[in-house]
Amino acid sequence: MATGELNPNHYPARRAAKVVQHYLNTHYGSPFRLFGLHNVQSGNAEDVADSGRKYQLEISVQEIISNTTENCSAEVLFLRGDQQHSPQVQVSCAELLKSNTAAQEEALFQKYKMNQSLLSAQNLPDSYGHIEPDNKPLWHLGIVASSSVMLKESTENTLFNMAQVAHITQLATENEQLKFDCHILLHEMVSQEIIHWKLLFTWSPPEGVKVLQMEQLPHCHHCEKPPNTN
Amino acid sequence: MLSSVLSLVVLLSATGAAAVERVEHDYYKYHPMPEITDWMAQVEKDHPDVVTVVEYGQTYEKRTISLLKIGLNTGEEKKAIWMDCGIHAREWIAPAFCQYFVRQILQAHKTDPKMQEMLKNLDFYVTPVLNMDGYIYTWKDNGTRLWRKNRSPGPSGCNCTGVDLNRNFNATWGTIGVSFDCCSNIYCGRQAASEPEAQAVTYFVGSRKEAFLCFLTIHSYGQLLLLPYGHPNFTASNYNELMEVGLGAADAIRRVHGMNYTVGTSPAVLYPNSGSSRDWARMLGIPFSYTFELRDKGTFGFELPEDQIQPACEEAYSGALHIITYAHDKTFSGAVATAAATLWTMLLAVGVTGNTLM
């Protein structure tokens, strides 16, 4: 695989940069803050002893909801070895991560807390790419939660995006957190497969999204519909 | 009084009937297969001098695969441009783009001298949906929307359906970037061009290979312009030119809505693969062979919102037109330039020998 200075248009740098996107969404994402990889400006890769390969990247990242773009520096370490390891990521961006979404998050959180019934939605987006405005925050939560799966599963040989939230349901809780169960579809670009995951996660403005459980679901090839999540 | 009211009623119902017959085709919505088929027939009907529907094959489920042949009938054998959309069923923006492309060139034909010239010199062969069985399957229900392959049954002993048509063409088939597991989304089939959809293209384009200047195959998503070859060990003989023209197309795309499309071979910018239609076309000798991967970069992926159909199509049209215009001008304006040069050379020669003509 490529070592030394990388062509920013070629896939090794681009795959590593995508991992940075998943890291940012996992740790800083919220219903009002989502990150997308915008561009790779430069990259460098070097082997690390026997343990793996480290990428140094200069990238631009877009905060999707406010439509602002900013430059970030990042390091991604892919570990090799017998066990499956998540990539290790360090990233610094000047302004991007400074939150001013606290008020909106709190308002949404309170609105959901005061709801009489538990929220539920499916097929976000639908076949036509449409998401009802009321369901957009649930789609955003799905992206944030699935980013921790995509981060964990990423290697130098994969490129993940979330294809759809098949199903998301709010569960009752005793504590301050909101709790959700969701079935998400990931698209892995290299194999072109759609991979199904079931996630259990909590959300509150101070804690952010925390994934409690994640489970890959076997894809039933002869089934017409996705597995029943009930 | 009563007779004039009755006349008005008759007039209104007559115009009403005429208006109801024709519903304007909305190019900024996704259309199920029957609507696309109807639209093709309507386009032919509306432009009988320029458009013909040509049937050129059958899908596994025995549907007729057709294309729109668009060009002025000059009575001669013409050079040609190939465009196909919807090899992969879930990439709905691709068939939407083929429909938009047809509408644009027909509209430009009315007013733009350059397009008139190109339609005189070239025939455009546009297949709005190549993998019809797969496309129809993605419209079935929420569980089928992300289907990719065709719908042929797996080989005996394998429980899964479908072959990845873009791994099935006879171009370094079965060597890299494929799976022989029939359940895989990149299953290349039991042999090269085993699939009827791939055979249809192979036969139609193959029997006219000298005519084709461009072969454009439209996909999503990723915002990429891919050059041949998908196999890392092979470089196209016109790689530099393909790169230059591809970068020009990406510039044209960026000028429309600011979107970045990355240009390069598949093994460089995406992943190595074999058996693609683009590689097959290039190996046949068709010089300008590209895969377009349209919007977006993963936010919505295959489920691109309908409100992005228009900008996605506008930028892709700009990119495609750049490549097509280059290929056309290289083939045709070159002849004009040569004729002009010959005339000048002759005039200068006469001038030098001076008095001969006086």
Domains and CATH numbers, chain B: 36-357 (3.40.630.10)
Cβ of B143 and A226 within 8 Å?
Answer: yes
pLDDT digits (tens, 9 = 90+) for A91-119: 999 887 776 899 999 999 999 999 989 99
Q: Which residues contact A160 (CB under 8 A, 6 or more apart)?
A: A18, A22, A150, A153, A154, A186, A187, A188, A189
Band (pLDDT 50/70/90 cuts) for residue A3 is confident
Question: What H or E segment, with its residue span, contains residue B212?
Answer: strand B212-220
Total of domains in chain A: 2
Q: Is B224 helix (H, G, I), strand (E, B) or coil?
A: strand
Beta strand residue intervals within B47-146, DSSP E:
51-58, 64-70, 79-85, 122-127
Distance from C-alpha of B11 to C-alpha of B124, rounded to nearest angstrom: 41
Cβ of B306 and A128 within 8 Å?
Answer: yes
pLDDT at residue B97 greater than cutoff 90 = yes
A121 and A83 fall within a common domain: no
pLDDT at residue B267 greater than cutoff 80 = yes
pLDDT at residue A34 greater than cutoff 50 = yes
A111 and A82 fall within a common domain: no
Cβ of A9 and B146 within 8 Å?
Answer: no
Distance from C-alpha of B203 to C-alpha of B65, rounded to nearest angstrom: 13
Per CB-CB distance under 8 Å, the chain A contacts of B269 are 9-11, 14
pLDDT at residue B2 greater than cutoff 80 = no
- The residue of chain A with its CA nearest to that of B147 is A194
- Distance from the A164 Cα atom to the nearest Cα atom in chain B, whole angstroms: 8
Given a contact cutoff of 8 angstroms between Cβ atoms, the answer to whether A157 and A190 are in contact is yes
Return the closest-CA partner of residue B205 out of B71, B37, B57.
B57
B254 vs A60, B142, B163, B236, B308, CA distance in Å? 17, 34, 34, 26, 15
Between A83 and B114, where is the model more confident? B114
Residue written as token pair 């007039």: B11
Between A141 and A100, where is the model more confident? A141
Return the closest-CA partner of residue A190 out of A219, A151, A159, A153.
A159
Inside any domain, residue A229: no
Return the closest-CA partner of residue B101 out of B120, B80, B74, B82.
B82
Half-sphere exposure of B26 (CA within 13 A, CB side): 8
Q: Looking at the partner chain, which of A161, A190, A226 has a beta carbon nearest the beta carbon of B298?
A: A161
A117 and A94 fall within a common domain: no
Question: Is any Cβ of chain A less than 8 angstroms from the Cβ of B310?
Answer: no
- Distance from the B111 Cα atom to the nearest Cα atom in chain A, whole angstroms: 33
Inside any domain, residue A91: yes
- Distance from the A163 Cα atom to the nearest Cα atom in chain B, whole angstroms: 6
A136 and A81 fall within a common domain: no
Residue that finishes a domain, picked among A68, A98, A128? A98
Cβ of B141 and A225 within 8 Å?
Answer: yes
Given a contact cutoff of 8 angstroms between Cβ atoms, the answer to whether B304 and B220 are in contact is yes
Question: What is the phi/psi pair of residue A146, to 5°?
Answer: -70, -20
Instruction: Assign 3-class secondary structure to B185-205.
Output: CCECCCCCCCCHHHHHHHHHH
Per CB-CB distance under 8 Å, the chain A contacts of B300 are 125, 129
Instruction: Assign 3-class secondary structure to chain A.
Output: CCCEEECCCCHHHHHHHHHHHHHHHHHHCECCECEEEEEEEEEEEEEECCCEEEEEEEEEEEECCCCEEEEEEEEEEEECCCCCCCCEEEEEECCCCCCCCHHHHHHHHHHHHCCCCCCEEEEECCCCCCCCHHHHHHHHHHHHHHHHHHHHHCCCCCCEEEEEEEEEEEECCCCCCEEEEEEEEEEECCCCEEEEEEEEEEEECCCEEEEEEEEEECCCCCCCCCCCCC
Q: What is residue A202's predicted lDDT score, i.e. its pLDDT?
A: 97
Return the closest-CA partner of residue A68 out of A101, A109, A26, A27.
A101
Cβ of A189 and B222 within 8 Å?
Answer: yes
Half-sphere exposure of A71 (CA within 13 A, CB side): 5
Q: What is residue A52's predicted lDDT score, i.e. its pLDDT?
A: 92
Question: Is any Cβ of chain B less than 8 angstroms from the Cβ of A220?
Answer: no
Question: What H or E segment, with its residue span, contains residue B213?
Answer: strand B212-220
First to last CA, chain B: 85
What whole-number percentage of chain B has pLDDT above 90? 85
A45 and A108 fall within a common domain: no
Distance from C-alpha of A67 to C-alpha of A36, rounded to nearest angstrom: 10
Distance from C-alpha of B333 to C-alpha of B331, rounded to nearest angstrom: 6
What whole-number percentage of chain B has pLDDT above 70? 87
Q: Per the omega criterion (within 30 degrees of 0), is the bond before B261 cis?
A: no
Residue that finishes a domain, picked among A49, A72, A98? A98
A111 and A200 fall within a common domain: yes
CB count in 10 Å sphere of residue B268: 18
- The residue of chain B with its CA nearest to that of A131 is B305
Given a contact cutoff of 8 angstroms between Cβ atoms, the answer to whether B169 and B87 are in contact is no
B 167-186 residues with CB below 8 A of A?
A: 179, 183-186
Residue that finishes a domain, picked among A44, A76, A98? A98
Instruction: Assign 3-class secondary structure to B251-279.
Output: HHHHHHHCCCCEEEEHHHHCCCCCCCHHH
Q: Looking at the partner chain, which of A64, A125, A192 has a beta carbon nearest the beta carbon of B303?
A: A125
Which whole number is the average pLDDT over B104-115?
97
A48 and A106 fall within a common domain: no
Question: Is any Cβ of chain A less than 8 angstroms from the Cβ of B75?
Answer: no
Inside any domain, residue A228: no
Return the closest-CA partner of residue A60 out of A41, A82, A75, A84.
A41
Inside any domain, residue A221: no
A118 and A78 fall within a common domain: no
Domain at A69, CATH number: 3.10.450.10
Q: What is residue B345's predicted lDDT score, i.e. its pLDDT?
A: 62
Given a contact cutoff of 8 angstroms between Cβ atoms, the answer to whether B321 and B253 are in contact is no
Lowest mean pLDDT among A178-192, B142-156, B278-292, B329-343: B329-343
Which whole number is the average pLDDT over A41-58?
94
Distance from C-alpha of B318 to C-alpha of B310, rounded to nearest angstrom: 12
State the maximum Cα–Cα separation within chain B, in Å, rounded to a whole number.
Answer: 90
Q: Tell me which DSSP letter residue B281 carries.
A: H
- Interface predicted TM-score of the whole assembly (ipTM), two decimals: 0.94
Q: What is residue B357's predicted lDDT score, i.e. its pLDDT?
A: 42
Q: What is residue B356's predicted lDDT score, i.e. its pLDDT?
A: 47
A106 and A94 fall within a common domain: no
- Distance from the B58 Cα atom to the nearest Cα atom in chain A, whole angstroms: 24
- The residue of chain B with its CA nearest to that of A222 is B160
pLDDT, averaged across chain A: 92
A89 vs A49, A54, A86, B20, B137, CA distance in Å? 18, 10, 9, 60, 40
- The residue of chain B with its CA nearest to that of A161 is B298
Q: Tell me the catalytic residues of B.
A: 293
Interface test with A, best of B167, B265, B299 (most A CBs within 10 A): B299
A108 and A35 fall within a common domain: no
Cβ of A9 and B264 within 8 Å?
Answer: yes
Given a contact cutoff of 8 angstroms between Cβ atoms, the answer to whether A55 and A15 are in contact is no
Per CB-CB distance under 8 Å, the chain B contacts of A11 are 268-271
Interface test with B, best of A39, A124, A192 (most B CBs within 10 A): A192
According to DSSP, the β-strands at A178-188 and A193-204 are antiparallel
Owning domain of residue A94: 4-98
Per CB-CB distance under 8 Å, the chain B contacts of A18 are 298
Distance from C-alpha of B101 to C-alpha of B92, rounded to nearest angstrom: 15
Given a contact cutoff of 8 angstroms between Cβ atoms, the answer to whether B303 and A127 are in contact is yes
Q: What is residue A92's predicted lDDT score, i.e. its pLDDT?
A: 95
Inside any domain, residue A26: yes
Band (pLDDT 50/70/90 cuts) for residue A54 is very high
Half-sphere exposure of A129 (CA within 13 A, CB side): 21
| pTM recorded for the entire structure | 0.91
Question: What is the phi/psi pair of residue B303, to 5°?
Answer: -100, 60
A116 and A207 fall within a common domain: yes
pLDDT digits (tens, 9 = 90+) for B40-84: 999 999 999 999 999 999 999 999 999 999 999 998 899 999 999
